[in-house]
Amino acid sequence: MKAKILVLMLGLLALKGWSQPMTGSFTNSAVSRIPVGSPVGLMEKFTVSSLSGSISNVQVTLDITGGFNGNLYAYLVNPVGQLVVLLNRPGVTGSNPFGYSDAGMNITLDGLAVNNIHNYDSGSYSLRGTTWAADGRNIDPESAGSVFDAASTAANLSVYQNTAANGVWTFFIADLGAGGGTPNLNSVILSIITVPEPQSGALLGSGLTIIWLMRKRNRGFFAEKK
């Protein structure tokens, strides 16, 4: 009975030492016009603090109205300079050099999502309240469509996993087309989920519990041998 109580106490100590995942959301909701046909674009900075541990996922929610989606180029840079390509002229391929003609989107780009926003298939999927993987094609947005077809999608939000969150994050978006109307950036939300490091008490409690269980198992094994 005493042994069972000891195991329970050690287990509770271990659980107490593990902190719950933390989520920080940082929003810019000031409506801004994205200059048409200009590489200057718009830049937003988010100062992230008080998020302990390492990143398990990053999400970017974009609310854009108007314009021509195939003209859009956007990226995100974390505090240590890692660049993720969020949008790179959606829909541009070898057979479609201009990209999708839809006007605007309200989507969440998620580091755990599978379906890539670059190939959302204009007219077949909703761009309102849906979740997508970031484009990830770290190539010149003025590249030929065939280059987009062959480009890697590795520069996606998953690169931020297991990195630190705190510091200044930079978001950039531009409209690189010559026409198609003027897009507006209504809001951008940066959400960062971190998993804090276990406290020393958790490691000690877990370690002692495992040692006790192993010793008990070994004693039982030798008792059976006898």
Amino acid 12: pLDDT: 43
- pLDDT level of residue 131 (50, 70, 90 thresholds): very high
Chain-centroid distance, C-alpha 179: 31
Q: Which two tokens stand for residue 71?
A: 């003209």
Amino acid 216: pLDDT: 54
For range 129-142, the mean pLDDT: 97
- Average per-residue pLDDT in the chain? 85
Q: Would the pLDDT of 10 be above 50?
A: no
Q: Position of tokens 């979740």?
A: 131
For range 160-166, the mean pLDDT: 97
- pLDDT level of residue 30 (50, 70, 90 thresholds): confident
Give residue 221's identity as a one-letter amino acid code: F
Q: Would the pLDDT of 152 be above 80?
A: yes
Amino acid 183: pLDDT: 96
Domain borders along the chain are 22-197
∠ CA(29), CA(31), CA(33), 5° rounding?
145
206 versus 56: which is more confidently predicted? Answer: 56
- pLDDT level of residue 9 (50, 70, 90 thresholds): very low
Instruction: Answer yes or no: CATH 2.60.120.260 is held by domain 22-197.
Output: yes
For residue range 44-81, what is the model confidence (pLDDT) as tens digits? Answer: 999 999 899 999 999 999 999 999 999 999 999 999 99
Which long-range CB contacts under 8 A does 148-156 form with residues at least 24 apart?
148/88, 148/89, 148/92, 148/93, 148/94, 148/118, 149/93, 149/94, 153/116, 153/118, 155/83, 155/84, 155/85, 156/84, 156/85, 156/111
Q: What is the pTM of this model?
A: 0.80
Residue among 94, 77, 66, 56 nearest 175 (CA): 66
Sign of the CA dihedral with 28 first, then 30, 31, and 33 last: negative
- pLDDT level of residue 202 (50, 70, 90 thresholds): very low
Distances in Å between the alpha carbon of 191 and those of 26, 136, 159? 6, 18, 15
- Facing residues of 60 across strands? 109, 190
